[in-house]
Chains A and B, each alone.
Chain A
Amino acid sequence: MILLTRKAEFSSSHYYWSDQLSEQENLRLFGKCANRNGHGHNYTLEVTVEGEVDPVSGFVVDLKDLKEVMHREVVDVYDHRHLNLEVPDFKHAIPTTENMAIAIWKRLENRIEGAKLHRIRVYETPDLFSDYYGEA
């Protein structure tokens, strides 16, 4: 088994706010991330797939296909959008990096031909990232 990782970038805006919490609790918990006018990041997405190397092609997965799926399912949906307001994944979930990694996993799971999804890593900044391995 070998792991293969492809990166993609997108830029989006978001804010952290839970309707289940009071305004005061939101501000205490999320700090400046709760600013209702939102703020934005340049996100980096890393998609890691696992599989066997095809003896003929030498590939785990056709990188062109992986890129195409990542763009169609994620980048085209998230890029230059307000995650809270424009992306259905976050209608009922706060677009934290944790929830983004989970949402992207769901978008890509079973859509990558010939390989199994291994890990989704979402960088919100170069110093902060979340990993999701499909665990319950």
Chain B
Amino acid sequence: MKAYLSRRYALSASHRLYSDAYSEEQNRAVYGKCSNPHGHGHNYVVEVTVGGQVDPVTGMVCNLADLDRCVQNKVIARFDHTNLNVDERFTHQVPTTENLCIAIHNLLAEHFVHAALQRVRVEETRNNFFEYAGEGKHGTTSSRS
């Protein structure tokens, strides 16, 4: 039987939303206070959902320790307590939480091999969150049937 397992992780980072393609004025108009020159930070929550058949012996979709290790090594170690703007991923891309969500999804899709990655959700604040399930996909429910 196929089940989905989700785990939430925390990381804190700073960023500044600013695009070189825009003028100062346009940046201010589009990003508002998020474009303040010295940046600002968030306590992000990253929710990772994986899916697969429940192993009849272990009762698990995958071993959580493997998921924790992969997220720790590929995501937390890379982004926690950093300035996202200086990460190479965001050299030519604005580190909005949409783009961070896609970046984290793609890192885990590449490196996590113990179950199928279904969705990554990144909460920037309690009231703002973003989800990415891969190009053209809509998360767990759309993968059914």
Using a CB–CB distance below 8 Å, which chain A residues touch chain B? 16, 18, 20-21, 29-31, 93-99, 101-102, 119, 126-133, 135-136
Contact = CB atoms under 8 A, between A and B. Distances in A.
Contacts of A128: 5-8, 64
Contacts of B3: 98, 101-102, 130-132, 135
B21 interface: no
B92 interface: no
Nearest to A92: B56
B61 A98 contact: yes
Given A132-B4, A136-B2, A94 B59 contact: yes
Q: Is the interface of B mostly helix, strand, loop or mixed?
A: mixed
Most chain B CB atoms below 10 A, which of A99, A102, A126, A131: A131
Interface residues of B, number: 22
Nearest to A131: B4
Interface in B39-61: 49, 54, 57-61
Nearest to A30: B58
24 contacts: A16-B59, A18-B59, A20-B57, A21-B57, A31-B65, A95-B59, A96-B59, A97-B5, A98-B3, A98-B5, A99-B54, A127-B8, A127-B9, A128-B5, A128-B6, A128-B7, A130-B4, A131-B6, A131-B49, A131-B140, A133-B2, A133-B4, A133-B140, A136-B2
